[in-house]
Amino acid sequence: MGPDNGGFGVWWIFPVIMCIIMMVFFFRRSGRRGFGPPWMQDSDKHHSESTESETALDILKKRYAKGEITKEEFEEMKRAL
């Protein structure tokens, strides 16, 4: 009758294709702008956007709020800006 391949023939390809389609759907659905794993998508883009939108005074206020600088240092740096 022919070689015994377990009765599957070429039908094994359909589950493989379905897995690929599901992965593509998952990455598209998760909001990423392209195909690929999340760790390779726009990692430094998000960082640069957040630093560009902050002014120097905002950064200075955050440092003061965290306790990285004293009130005197804050006032002095604020005057310098």
pLDDT tens readout for residues 17-39:
999 999 888 877 776 555 555 56
- Which whole-number Å values give the CA distances from 8 to 22, 45, 74, in the listed order? 22, 47, 73
Dump pLDDT digits (tens) for 3-18.
566 666 777 788 899 9
- The count of structural domains within the chain is 1
Domain assignment present for residue 76? The answer is yes
- Overall average pLDDT of the 36-48 stretch: 57
Question: What mean pLDDT is reported for the chain?
Answer: 75
Can you give the pLDDT at residue 13?
85
Rounded Cα–Cα distance for residues 39 and 20 (Å): 19
Question: Phi, psi at residue 2, to the nearest 5°?
Answer: 135, 175
Structural domain contains residue 8: no
Parent domain of 79: 51-81
Query: Residue 12 has what pLDDT?
Result: 77
In a domain, 60, yes or no: yes
Residue 77 belongs to some domain of the structure: yes
Contact between residue 38 and residue 30 where contact means Cβ atoms under 8 Å apart: yes
User: Is residue 11 assigned to a domain?
Assistant: no
Return the higher-pLDDT residue of 73 and 51.
Answer: 73
Q: What are phi and psi of 12, to 5 degrees?
A: -65, -20
| Distance between CA atoms of residues 68 and 74, nearest Å | 10
Is 74 among the domain residues?
yes
